[in-house]
Amino acid sequence: MVTRDAARDSDAAGLERAAVLGTGLIGGSVAAALRVLGVTVTGWDLDPTRAARAVEVGAIDSAASTVADAVVDAEVIFVAVPVGVTAEVVTTALAAAPHAVVTDVGSVKSGVVAAVEAVHGADRFVGGHPMAGSEQDGVDGARADLFQGATWVLTPTERTAAETFTRVRSLVAAFGAEVIALTPHDHDRFVATVSHVPQLAASTLMDTALSIATQHETLLRLAAGGFRDMTRIAAGNPAIWPDILTANRDAIVGALDGYLASLSEVRRMVADGDRAGLLTMLQRARHGRRALPVGAAKVDELCEFHVLVPDRPGVLAEITTLAGRQAVNIYDVELAHSLEGERGVMVLVVAAGAAADEFERGLRTLGYAVTRGTFE
Amino acid sequence: MVTRDAARDSDAAGLERAAVLGTGLIGGSVAAALRVLGVTVTGWDLDPTRAARAVEVGAIDSAASTVADAVVDAEVIFVAVPVGVTAEVVTTALAAAPHAVVTDVGSVKSGVVAAVEAVHGADRFVGGHPMAGSEQDGVDGARADLFQGATWVLTPTERTAAETFTRVRSLVAAFGAEVIALTPHDHDRFVATVSHVPQLAASTLMDTALSIATQHETLLRLAAGGFRDMTRIAAGNPAIWPDILTANRDAIVGALDGYLASLSEVRRMVADGDRAGLLTMLQRARHGRRALPVGAAKVDELCEFHVLVPDRPGVLAEITTLAGRQAVNIYDVELAHSLEGERGVMVLVVAAGAAADEFERGLRTLGYAVTRGTFE
pLDDT interval class at A349 (50, 70, 90): confident
Mean pLDDT of B317-331: 79
A contacts of B229 (beta carbons < 8 Å) = 229-230, 232-233
- Subunit contact B222:A281, Cβ cutoff 8 A: no
Give Cβ neighbours of residue B23 (< 8 Å, ≥ 6 apart): B31, B43, B44, B45, B50, B51, B53, B54, B59, B60, B63, B80, B139
Mean pLDDT of A297-303: 63
pLDDT interval class at B150 (50, 70, 90): confident
Q: What is the DSSP letter of B78?
A: E
Among A110-114, A205-209, B113-117, B288-292, where is mean pLDDT lowest?
B288-292
Q: What is the pLDDT at residue B212?
A: 78
A contacts of B200 (beta carbons < 8 Å) = 263, 266, 270
- Subunit contact B245:A203, Cβ cutoff 8 A: no
- Please state the φ and ψ torsions of residue A116, each to the nearest 5 degrees: -70, -35
Q: Give residue A337's identity as a one-letter amino acid code.
A: H
pLDDT digits (tens, 9 = 90+) for B96-110: 999 999 999 999 999
Mean pLDDT of B120-144: 86
**Which of A210, A227, A271 has its CB closest to that of B198?**
A227
- Subunit contact B288:A198, Cβ cutoff 8 A: no
pLDDT interval class at B133 (50, 70, 90): low
- Subunit contact B206:A289, Cβ cutoff 8 A: yes
- Number of CB pairs < 8 Å for A and B? 313
- Subunit contact B226:A202, Cβ cutoff 8 A: yes
- Subunit contact A230:B229, Cβ cutoff 8 A: yes
> Would you give the distance in Å from CA B194 to the centre of its chain?
13
Among B225-229, B259-263, B278-282, where is mean pLDDT lowest?
B225-229
- Subunit contact A194:B223, Cβ cutoff 8 A: yes
Q: What is the DSSP letter of A287?
A: H
Whole-angstrom Cα distance, residue A285 to residue A291? 10
> Which residue segments constitute the domains of chain B, with CATH numbers given?
4-182 (3.40.50.720), 187-288 (1.10.3660.10), 302-373 (3.30.70.260)
pLDDT digits (tens, 9 = 90+) for A58-108: 999 999 999 999 999 999 999 999 998 999 999 999 999 999 999 999 999
Residue B7 confidence (pLDDT) above 50: no
Give Cβ neighbours of residue A63 (< 8 Å, ≥ 6 apart): A23, A42, A43, A44, A45, A48, A51, A52, A54, A55
Per-residue b or e along B276-304, where b marks 16 or more CB atoms closer than 10 Å to that residue's CB: ebbbebbbbbbebbeebeeeeeeeeebbb
- Subunit contact A203:B281, Cβ cutoff 8 A: yes
Q: What is the pLDDT at residue A300?
A: 61
Q: A193 by DSSP, 3-state: which?
A: helix
Q: Which position has the higher pLDDT, A334 or B67?
A: B67
User: Which of A135, A194, A259 has the most B C-beta neighbours within 10 Å, making it the best mutation to test the interface with B?
Assistant: A194
- Subunit contact A232:B226, Cβ cutoff 8 A: yes
User: Which of B135, B227, B256 has the most A C-beta neighbours within 10 Å, making it the best mutation to test the interface with A?
Assistant: B227
Q: What is the pLDDT at residue B286?
A: 92
For residue B217, the distance in angstroms to the closest alpha carbon of chain A comes to: 6
Whole-angstrom Cα distance, residue A168 to residue A25? 19
3-state helix vs strand vs coil in chain A, percent to 5? 50, 20, 30
Whole-angstrom Cα distance, residue A9 to residue B80? 60
Residue A356 confidence (pLDDT) above 80: yes
ipTM reported for the complex, 2 dp: 0.78
pLDDT digits (tens, 9 = 90+) for B198-237: 999 999 999 998 887 665 567 777 877 788 888 888 988 8
Mean pLDDT of B319-346: 73
B contacts of A278 (beta carbons < 8 Å) = 241-242, 245
Chain A residue at shortest CA distance from B197? A205
pLDDT interval class at A299 (50, 70, 90): low
**Which of A204, A249, A289 has its CB closest to that of B266?**
A204
Q: What is the pLDDT at residue B102?
A: 98
Whole-angstrom Cα distance, residue B348 to residue B355? 14
- Subunit contact A227:B252, Cβ cutoff 8 A: no
